[in-house]
Structure formats: C-alpha cells, structure tokens
Amino acid sequence: MQPDGLVMDSPASDDKRVEQMEQRVASRSTKHDSADKHVTGEARYIDDIPEPDGLLHVYPGWYRGAARGKILSMDLDAVRSAEGVVAVLSAKDIPGINDCSPAMGDDPVFAEDEIVFHGQVVFAVVATDRDAARRACQLAKIEVEASEPVLNVAQARDAGITVLPDYLFKKGEAEQSVKDSSSSVTTSFEIGGQEHFYLEGQISMALPGEDGELYVHCSTQHPSEVQHNVAKALDLDEAAVTVEIRRMGGAFGGKESQASQWATLAALGAHVTGRPCKCRLDRDDDMIMTGKRHDFLTELSASFEANGKLNAVVMDLDSRCGCSADLSLGINDRAMFHSDNAYQYPESLIRSRRFKTNTVSNTAFRGFGGPQGMLAAERLMDAIACKTGLDPLDVRLANLYEGDKGVTPFGMPVEEGDVLLDIITTLEKSSNYRERRKEVEAFNANSPILKKGLALTPVKFGISFTLLHLNQAGALVHVYKDGSVQLNHGGTEMGQGLFQKVAQVAAQELGVSLDKVKITATNTAKVPNTSPTAASSGADLNGMAVANACNIIKDRLLKFAADQDGVAIESIRVSDNVVYYGDERAMSFRDLVQRAYLARISLSSTGFYATPKIDWDRENATGRPFLYFAYGASCSEVLIDTLTGEMKVERVDVLHDVGHSLNPALDRGQIEGGFVQGMGWLTTEELVWDDEGRLRTHAPSTYKIPTASDVPADFRVDLYASKGNPEKTIYRSKAVGEPPLMLPISVFCAINDAISSLRPGLLPQLRAPATAEAILHAVHMIKKGQGA
Amino acid sequence: MRSAISFLRSGKVVSLELTNPTQTLLDYIRLSEKKTGTKEGCREGDCGACTVALGRLRDGELVYEPVNSCILLLGQIDGCELVTVEDLVSEGVMHPVQQALADHHGSQCGFCTPGFVMNLFTLYHQSKEGLSHSDITHWLSGNLCRCTGYRPIVDAALEACAGAANDVFSARAAETMRMLASINDGADVLSGSEDSFFASPASASSLAELYAKHTDATLVAGATDVGLWLTKQMRVLPKIISLNRVADLQKLAETTTGLHIGAGVTYAQAQESLAAFDPDIGEVISRIGSKQIRASGTIGGNIANGSPIGDSPPVLIALDATLKLRKGDVSRELPLEDFFIDYGKQDRGNAEFVEEIFVPRLDANQVFRAYKISKRFDQDISAVMAAFRFTLVENRITEARIAFGGMAATPKRAAGAETALIGVSLDDPSTWTTAQNAIKQDYSPITDMRASSAYRRDIAQALLTKALVEAAGTSTSKTRVVGQRPEGVTHAA
C-alpha cells in the first residue's frame, strides 16, 4: 500500500491539495516534543541521568607545553597516587585499536609517540569525582622534545603538507580564458573557522554489562559510529556495544565524529575498572580538544562582460584540516560543490587543497564546507560589482542560474532556477531593496563617521550526503495493544525538532493522534547501522523510513479489517484514532489493533529508505550528488563606525524555501537560528591561535557567539510560498538544517558595501569574520587607496 | 557567631554546615540536592545555563536577581532565597515565563532554557513600565542560546514579563520577606575549622579582625573572578572570607561632593547612582558582564582584583576617584590611579582590604565620555576601555583626564595627550592634532586574542577624536552605532 497523502504523488500545486495539507498533522506548527520539559527543566540530558552506584569519572590529560613533538617519557606516578584516583589510562590499556577516527585510522584515542596538536589527549584519569580527576591530571610529568609546529594554511602551503590529495572540477579552459580576458578580477581573502559552542559539552557515560558488553549513553549525532569506535578500541563485536542518545544540548556537526573519543574513554574506564564511568569535558577543554569549522584561504579570479556576466572562474580553496583527515574529504568537496552558489559559471576551474597542520583536526559544522565555498562565490560577485560599478544585486541577477538550463561546475543540472529567481525578486520587492539602496547612498553622503551598507544574497544548497552510502535510513515502529505507538529511527535529536517532525509523519501515516505516538531515544539496539544525523538529512531520510514502517503495519491492519469485515480495502480510512469504512465510523484504532493482535497479526515493523536518483562518481567528478537543492535569500542592512570598526546589523529580511513545510514553526526556528549562527561566524566569532599553536579563545569569555542584542529587532523571516519539492521527498518538504546558516552572507556583503562607500571602485580588504578590527583594517586600507 | 549558613528554599529555612568552603552553588544544586534542571554550560559565568534566582531583602523590598550558580559559592547565599527552575511549576501549572517560552517555540535543544527561564523569572518580578525590545535583549545578554537566534525568546519575554508579577512568589512575598528577615540576623558566620573555613563577617570590624588573623585567606565579593580560580585553575582555597554580608561595605551614599561606594556594592546597585553622573557611565556599567554578573560582581572587586582590563577603573580614574583601604582599625586613602602599580601588583598590604571608593561629581563645565570597544557589544571583556573628562572654559580645554584600560599592564592615564589637550579649542579641530598624535605615544599595548597592538593604538586615537567631536557638539546619533546618549545631553547633568 502507498503511504498516505503526498509521499509518492506529484507536487501538490492545486489549492485543494494545499488546503488538505493544512489539515494534516504533518504540516502543523506543533511545539517541539520536549518544549514543556525544556522550560521546566525536566528534559534529561546525559549528565542529568541519575548516577549509578559506584560511578567513576574519567578525565583526559594532555601535555600543555607544545603543539608538536616527540614524547620522550611520561611519569604518571603522582597522578596515580592523587586523592580519589582509581586508575590511570593510556594507550597501552587499549585492548583493541588505538583509534577513534571516522574512517582513516589517524585519530589516536591517546597519543603514543608524538604529539600533533596542542590539546591532544595523552592519558586519562579515572577518579571518584570529576574535580579530583581534573586535579590529578595536572600532576603528570611528561617530557616532550618539541619541534616547530605548522599552524596555518600559509605555513602548510610552504611546507607542502596535506592530509588528503588535491581535487578539482574543471569545465572548459577557465585559467586561459581569465588570462586572455581584458575584463577580469583577481582577489584573495581569508575565511575564519568557527567553534560549535553547543551549550551541552561533550559527554558520555558507559555502563559495563555481562560478557564485556557495554551500554553507552553518548551525546552524539552518530551513535553507530560511536558504537563502532568503542567496539574497535575495546576489541569487542559491535553487537556487544549499545549506544543511546535521547537528546543533545546542541551539536551543529560538533558531535558527529567528535563524540567518539570521550565515549571511548568512558568505555575504557568501565572496561578497566568494571564500574560505570562518565566522561564530561570542561568547556575550555572541550573547545581546545575538539575540532571546528575549517578556515580557508581562497584565491579567486574571473573574467566577465560589461554587464557583470561571468565568462570564466578560477578558484583555489585551500583549507586548514588540522592534524588528521577526520571528515575533511567531504567537507572540502562540499566547499567545491557550493563554490558556484547560485551562479552559472560558463567555464570554471575549482581547485581544492587540504592542508595538514599541528592544530586540532577540523570537523563537520553546519554547512559542512558549503558556507566557505558559497562565501567565495559571493565575494566574487562583490568584486565584479566594485569593478563594474554595478549594483551588487544586478551582478548577482545577471549570473543567476536560469530556469532549468543551469549546469553546475560538477555537471549536475540545476532544475529550479525559476524558484531561485522568484525568491530573489520577491525579497527584492518585500525588502524595498531598490529604495533602500538610494536611502543608504543618501545617508552615507551626509555621514562622515557612520556608514551604512546593504546587500541581498541568495543561497542554493545541495541536499544529500555526498558519500553515497550514507543516504539510507532505518526505522522501528511498534503498535501496542492499546493503540499506542512507539517510534524509533536512526535520527538523533539535537534541538532541531526532528523527533517532533517524524512523530508527525508517524501520526499522519497511521491515522492516530500525535499524543498516541511515543518518541523514544535513538538506540543502536533498535535501529542498526545508522547514518549520522547530518547533512540536513534527518527528516528527509528518517521521515521516509518511518512512513515506510508505519505503512507496512497499516497495510497489515487494513487487509485484516477488509478480510474480517468484508469491506473493500480502498474504502478503509484511519483518521484521528478512528477507523472508517467509507464515511461510516467502524471502530476505534485501538479496537482494530486489539482484534488484529488476537488474530495474530504482527503489530511491529522496521522501515527503510534509500534516497533515489543520486549517483556520484568522485573519481571522474560526474553525476548527481544531490537529490535537490534548497533555496533562500536574505537582505541585510548594517551600520559601521569608520573610526572604530564597530558594526551593528540594523535590519534583516529572509525568504527561505522549505518546500511544503513539515512544521512551519520548527522550520522558522531553523532559519532564524541558522541565520544568527552564521552571522556569528562572519562577524564576532574569531578563533585565535598563538604562535605556539595554543588556542587563545577557548571559553565564552574570549570566543563571542551572538547574544540577543546582536540580533536586529527588525528581523523579518518568511517561508517561501513553495509549490512543493519537485522531488519525491516526505510530503514534498525540503531539508532546512544547514541552508539558513549561509543566509547571513548578506551581512558580510553589507559590511563590505558600507566600507566600499568610502571609495567606490575598490574592493575592501575585508576578511571573515568581520570583527571591528577587521572592518577598521579594511577602512584604513581603502582610505589609502588599497583594495583587495 | 554562627557556624551554619542559612537560606530559604521552597518556603523553608535550610541550615548547612559547610564541609567544603569552596563548593559552588551549582554543585550544591546538582550534586547535593540532585536537582538537575539547572545546567552547567561553561562553569565560568559566561553562558547563563546555570542561572538561578536569588531573592534578597533590599531596602525593605523583596528583590529577585539572576546569578550564575556555577561560580557563586554556596556560602554566599546566606540570607537569600534560592529559586531554581524546579520551583516554578506550581500545582502542575507552568509559570507564565515557562508557558510563554514553550508557546513561542523559545527552546530548541533546551539546554540553555532553564537559565533563560530563571533570568526571565527575575525580569517578571521587576517593575518594568514600557518594557522594550532592547530592555529585554540587554537583560538577556548573559544567557547564550546557540539554537534559536533569540527572536522567539524575546517575543516570549515581551508577552510574559510586560505586566505586574502575579505568581506564587508574589502571592507569598510577605511571608518570604518575614522569613528572610528572620535569617538575616546580622551575626558573623564562620563555617568550618581554623584551617579551612567559609566565613561571612557581618561588620567591617569583624572582617578586619578575621583578615588580620588569617592573612592567607581569600577575600571574595561577587566571586565572578575567584570562582574561575576554582573551576578552571582547580585551585584549592581553604580559607574564604566573603564580603557579601559586611553591612559597612554595602553602603552607597550620595553627598553634595560625590558618591561613596562601599566595597561590597554590586554593579547593579551602583548603576543608577553612577549613571546619574553621566549617561556614558550608565552605558559602561550596563555593558560590564551580564545581568547575572552585575548582580554579583562589585566595583570594589573590579578594582581590588587589579586587572588591566576591568571596565570600571578607567572610568573612575578619569573621574578622579579615590580609594579607601583598611587594615585592622586603620584606614588610608589614595588616588585610585595610584593603587595600580604593575601587572598583578597593587598597593594593597597584607591584611588590607578595599573599604570604599569615593567618586567626585562632575562640575558643570566638565564633559565626560566613555567608550568600550569589544568584539561583541554585550557581555564581553574590553579590548580597549577609554574614559575622558574635559574641563572647559569657553570651549577650550583647561584640563583633561584620560584613562584607558586594555592599553597597558594597568589601567593607565594618557599623560602626553592630557598635556597636549590643554588650551585646545573644541571649535577648531586643527588644534587637536598634537594630542591625537600624542595618545599613540602614551601606550605600548600588547597583541592578544582580543585585539592587536596596532588596533589598540588606532582605537586610542580614534576614541580621543570621537570624544572631541562629541564634546564639540556633534550628536552621538552621528558618531556611535550603539550607546547613543539622550539627545541634547552633551554635558553632565
């Protein structure tokens, strides 16, 4: 039987269907499933689980004296004899493989012979309380022969050290075309990294069971990988390790590969002592020891026509990957996948180099490289606008993918160019862009110290894991004899509202009310071999898998009812816990379930989904890596102080495409939250390492994410009136987790615009993040006549 | 003398002998009470996830203020009512701020949410006529949320906190005040032993005596700095003397010549009186830390701590403030600027403590300006903090006092620029040049994570220019992106 509603149908374009959708559970603005528990403090995070008797606390120890060097000796006697210490762990205690990497085998749980970044774990203390463990860690005597660290892209370029091979997309002879052109632009700029700053730090609690079994509560987006890594380190079968996570206190990519090490430490502690062990990082250590968004050095050149239309583009996207590969392959690939953003490059050469440095291994972060590639594309638009004197929006419009004719630098067709154009032109009107452009110019003409800037930028973001096999999901749905439903799937809840959206899908498909659907923790014992909740894919994948499971059960129930009661199966409908034969109420859902149970019909099913249509041949750089693109646009206005570089965002307008929304309130939450997080990345969030490779911004006192007052009071967010995702996604919705993070590129471009007003024709030497210092630098340079 | 601390909790008096003088309030709540609604986000008072409300008697009224429980010491809540998120649901009904947050989709991951709830609970209990969007965003600057982008939280606050308080706490306020009065007994507290104790003397003489006896003790006022020695450096501080209850240090006295600020007066308590001197002082204080930090931290602590990046010393030095120190029965006074000798070194002797700060009023012919430059406007530590006091005769500067933070190892005056400004005409910017050049020579700032040396120098010059432009009459609506002064207020009141 087909899933109810719109899963497999064509896009719902007619009014009637839209009206139907509004009545559906699955498109309502219901609250986050835990909203009430959040506000009352009843929502339980891992550190809130009542601690089992005999719980011990594991804390990682590290060498504070160098970012790179050979370990000569390690004297842990004082650590061992410190108050409260039960055990001290190091590499030799690992029965299996000393690695917690996602794939490449290059992230040791404990450093053995050499230290490769400042903050790398060398040993761990197991103690009766957490502060005792932390205090004991300070007593280690480690001798290291330090060597000169390689700390940033520039140094790594000179040294020529990469973690992964270079990669490129090539279409035409872009390099030659740019060289031959009489109208071209060349520029370079820095894009900073970003700390996730999830409010709940990394944490795991491991409970030992029989036969070496382990039950691990881990705050992770990727329970299956944590399970794999714990099993690998402890030399256990994966079947002996269960990983559970009910909810995370934020993740943003930082609990994908980065959760394994702390889970492994807790598990190892439990293995060695036979007692339950918890490992929770202190905030500063969390920020020092876990990876961040990649920072990039980009070099851009392009040739273009007098109307701003591009001919050829050459981009070099050089990133700092840190000390190991981690997820850098996919991240840098995605930077390349989005280096066109929304624009047609007739010829292009996109090159990527992935540099190895003696800094913490950079990792997934909302957007997964996409934001950096996209920012490079938008920088190019601004560069052309400066050069041609055109309004930056006109340059953007001139280059926008057209209708269904667009083809990306990696050969994938862009089929929704009309949607992209409609979003931009709608926002252009609703934000009064053109009038405000004049107002900004008038303001700037009369304001010597303060300057305004305005920018409208689009977002086009590819949806699917570019690692093909991850595009699958499983679900497990049980219907109990009282008609209640227990829901489980491979997706994890980190605040995005995935559990609520998927529960809405289950309620819709089974025809029960939402309160009958019991959401449960993600657990590797229920759904195995899951993909991470990442790449914005949570609802797309798990929603479909759950719909599949629900429909298998419902199919059985309806067949049973049809057989028993002699009605045509097509005439049976379940809605709001009531079974109808035609228009007539036949029985409650509960009664049907009871009858089915007595008749020995299975009331439980797994579900499965594999994304169709996608294929990507990385070696030849051809294929369709994405099922579809998500679109949006934003318009930002800023005010800068040319004496100090201080900046305030004054107004933001957003229009974003979520297809047919599964839950408009939750989607809006993702859009607003993503915007502010991306705005932080591009403005106040600055990661600073010193010359010794020590992170100096390792606490909220020094690393500044936006506060409430950084968000403009005038913040207008709308969902695009979509005709539905043309692809057959769950109810024709579109993924929304990551794309909004890139909307605030308009803030960066507006700052650029404000500085540019000081000397039209020059591209400001602005780097990201555009801190007050970065803005003032660009102001001083442009006043001296020096552009980027 | 009491050996147990007393506080009010869920309508009952709790009395505790402290076995660990430095146990934090958060550890008490989570590990001893086993109430896990209150979260630990950063353990350094910067994220607000651990926010709880403290009810105190202030001038005969019950005042609820938010504090960061992660760095406050348990002993410091003696005499207070402790309210945590668990206390807000009454007979199964959520508190109005909880309901509004849930209705407005104000939580996503939910980890910061209890902290927001508790901070909004304190806003709910404040008088707030004409509560504005920016009132709320400033009130919330000490609560970080990484998920929502704050818009729904602010909307919830606008809905829930606009009216007069009407909850179980307001209903039982009289009883709460009676109970608080009963535990505020004015007795000295010393919980622990001679070798390890938490003490909370009630008078300056008790404090002086105790400190003279235990010169190795650590004085704690708001614990907004000392708290981090414990939670981040894992230091062991066996002897703690809290200044919270020293009645003589809580005085805030206005005289015709100026303002006397006792060393135990919090930023929040001093804010209004200082803001009356000049709006820029109010603005600076409103950007020190967060609501939580300002409810605990003291101006005395900001000085005694000796940090080169404290925000209040440059302001107070520019105002020519003096400091009163005490040891035993002996007090002495010195100009505040002389207190700061070098990095980490202050003119404070063994067993000597800060007793009071005196801030002279501005004269009618003086213009005051202060600026804080930081990566983020709210709740950040200054890269550069600047304060200017120009004395004017017919628009010529006859005296200038300029002090900067973040430019040297101590808060420091700009001697060269001050001299160069004498005789300068506000009406003629060409006369400013010497001073603008001189200020770059006055300092040799360092490069750190907050700013580079070059930027700091540039900013020093830029802020002098800004101060002169504004003093000359340009409206701050044309010179500032934030912190504009009320129109027409150029000079001090």
Q: Is the pLDDT of residue B421 over 50?
A: yes
CB B200 within 8 A of CB B23: no
Q: How far is A133 from chain B (nearest CA, A)?
A: 11
CB pairs under 8 A between A and B: 269
Of A684, A700, A777, the CB nearest to B144: A700
pLDDT tier, B492 (very low <50, low <70, confident <90, very high otherwise)? low
pLDDT tier, A20 (very low <50, low <70, confident <90, very high otherwise)? low
The mean pLDDT value for B444-460 works out to 97
Q: Which two tokens stand for residue A698?
A: 């390792």
Q: What is the DSSP letter of A768?
A: B
With the CA atoms of A76, A77, A82 and A88 taken in that order, what torsion angle do they form, in degrees rounded to the nearest 10? 50
Contact B148 A673 (CB under 8 A): yes
Cis peptide before B238 (omega within 30 of 0): no
The mean pLDDT value for A163-179 works out to 98
Contact A38 B107 (CB under 8 A): yes
Contact B150 A688 (CB under 8 A): no
With the CA atoms of A727, A730, A733 and A738 taken in that order, what torsion angle do they form, in degrees rounded to the nearest 10? -100
Contact B107 A34 (CB under 8 A): yes
Contact A700 B39 (CB under 8 A): no
Chain A residues near residue B151 by CB distance under 8 angstroms: 672, 711, 715, 717
Q: How far is A136 from chain B (nearest CA, A)?
A: 10
pLDDT digits (tens, 9 = 90+) for A336-378: 999 999 999 999 999 999 999 999 999 999 999 999 999 999 9
Q: Containing H/E element for A462?
A: strand A450-463
The mean pLDDT value for A619-628 works out to 95
Of B41, B137, B465, the CB nearest to A643: B465
CB B318 within 8 A of CB B403: yes
For residue B87, what is the nearest residue in chain A, using CA coordinates? A40
Structure-token match 């996919």, residue found: A330
pLDDT tier, B84 (very low <50, low <70, confident <90, very high otherwise)? very high
pLDDT digits (tens, 9 = 90+) for A282-334: 999 999 999 999 999 999 999 999 999 999 999 999 999 999 999 999 999 99
Contact A709 B377 (CB under 8 A): yes
Edge-to-edge strand ranges of the sheet holding A450-463: A450-463, A628-641, A647-656, A714-719
CA distance B227 to B325: 23
Neighbours of A559 (CB within 10 A): 15
Contact A684 B375 (CB under 8 A): yes
Of A44, A283, A668, the CB nearest to B42: A283
Q: What pLDDT sits at residue A13?
A: 41
Q: How far is B131 from chain A (nearest CA, A)?
A: 14
pLDDT tier, A1 (very low <50, low <70, confident <90, very high otherwise)? very low
Contact A644 B145 (CB under 8 A): no
The mean pLDDT value for A678-704 works out to 97
Neighbours of A439 (CB within 10 A): 14
Q: How far is A234 from chain B (nearest CA, A)?
A: 30
Q: How far is A716 from chain B (nearest CA, A)?
A: 10
Contact B85 A41 (CB under 8 A): yes
Q: Is the pLDDT of residue A554 over 90?
A: yes
Contact B102 A644 (CB under 8 A): no
Neighbours of B45 (CB within 10 A): 32
Chain B residues near residue A36 by CB distance under 8 angstroms: 94, 98, 102
For residue B143, what is the nearest residue in chain A, using CA coordinates? A707
Chain B residues near residue A283 by CB distance under 8 angstroms: 41-44, 47
Statement: the pTM of the whole predicted model exceeds 0.95: yes
Chain B residues near residue A644 by CB distance under 8 angstroms: 371, 373, 459, 462-463, 466
Q: What pLDDT sits at residue A734?
A: 98
Per the prediction, chain A carries an average pLDDT of 96
CB A360 within 8 A of CB A117: yes
Q: How far is B403 from chain A (nearest CA, A)?
A: 18
pLDDT digits (tens, 9 = 90+) for B99-124: 999 999 999 999 999 999 999 999 99
**Catalytic residue (one of A256, A441, A738, A773):** A738
For residue A664, what is the nearest residue in chain B, using CA coordinates? B105
Of A44, A247, A711, the CB nearest to B149: A711
CA distance A330 to A164: 11
Angle (CA) B88-B92-B97 rounded to 5° is 40
CB A616 within 8 A of CB A466: yes
Calculate the alpha carbon distances from A109 to A90, A203, A213, B268 in Å.
Answer: 9, 15, 20, 47
Calculate the alpha carbon distances from A221 to A263, A335, A534, A545, A760 in Å.
Answer: 13, 22, 7, 18, 46
ipTM above 0.95, yes or no: yes
Chain B residues near residue A651 by CB distance under 8 angstroms: none
Chain A residues near residue B231 by CB distance under 8 angstroms: 282
Contact B101 A199 (CB under 8 A): no
Contact A41 B114 (CB under 8 A): yes
Chain B residues near residue A669 by CB distance under 8 angstroms: 105, 108, 147-149, 152
CA distance A229 to A103: 10
Residue A727 falls in the annotated catalytic set: no
The mean pLDDT value for A388-408 works out to 97
Chain B residues near residue A31 by CB distance under 8 angstroms: 102-103, 105
CB B473 within 8 A of CB B429: no
Calculate the alpha carbon distances from A500 to A149, A159, A362, A506, A730 in Å.
Answer: 47, 49, 31, 10, 14
Q: How far is A369 from chain B (nearest CA, A)?
A: 19
Chain B residues near residue A196 by CB distance under 8 angstroms: 146
